[in-house]
Amino acid sequence: MKNYVQDGKTISFTPTAAVASGEAVLLATLLVVAIGAIAADTEGTGVTEGVFELPKKSTDVVALGVDLYWDDTEKELTTTATDNTKVGKAWLAAGNGAETVWVKINA
């Protein structure tokens, strides 16, 4: 089919600040995870789907399957919807004190 562009599992973007490999970045309402380190103002690639272990608000209790939101100020996942962007589903439960959670991004 001649209108096919790509499978949509990755996206190119140019961050204004340096991004580490594996770091999550919010592009409008799309959460991507950097495939490799990306220098500021240099084009790089992020993954747009899959399950990743990402930082979460340590005091949140996350149940399996709940919606997760990205706090772009703190650069972490949270269960709090207010002032945050929905970015996926919890793929594993994580209790109070846990600093990371598995998340299926953009689900």
DSSP state, residue 73: T
Cα–Cα distance for residue pair 104/54, rounded to 1 Å: 10
Q: Based on the domain organization, do 69 and 27 belong to the same domain?
A: no
Query: pLDDT, tens digit, for every residue of 34-85?
Result: 999 999 999 999 999 999 999 999 999 999 999 999 999 999 999 999 999 9
Q: How many CB atoms lie within 10 A of CB 88?
A: 24
Instruction: Grade residue 94 by pLDDT with cuts at 50, 70 and 90.
Output: very high
Query: pLDDT, tens digit, for every residue of 18-36?
Result: 999 999 999 999 999 999 9
Domain boundaries, position 42: 10-47
Asked whether residue 76 is domain-assigned, the answer is: yes
The total domain count for the chain is 2
Asked whether residue 101 is domain-assigned, the answer is: yes
Q: Based on the domain organization, do 21 and 64 belong to the same domain?
A: no
What pLDDT is recorded for position 19? 99
CB 57 within 8 A of CB 78: yes
Q: Based on the domain organization, do 29 and 73 belong to the same domain?
A: no
SS3 content of the chain, % helix, strand, coil (to 5): 0, 45, 55
What pLDDT is recorded for position 57? 99
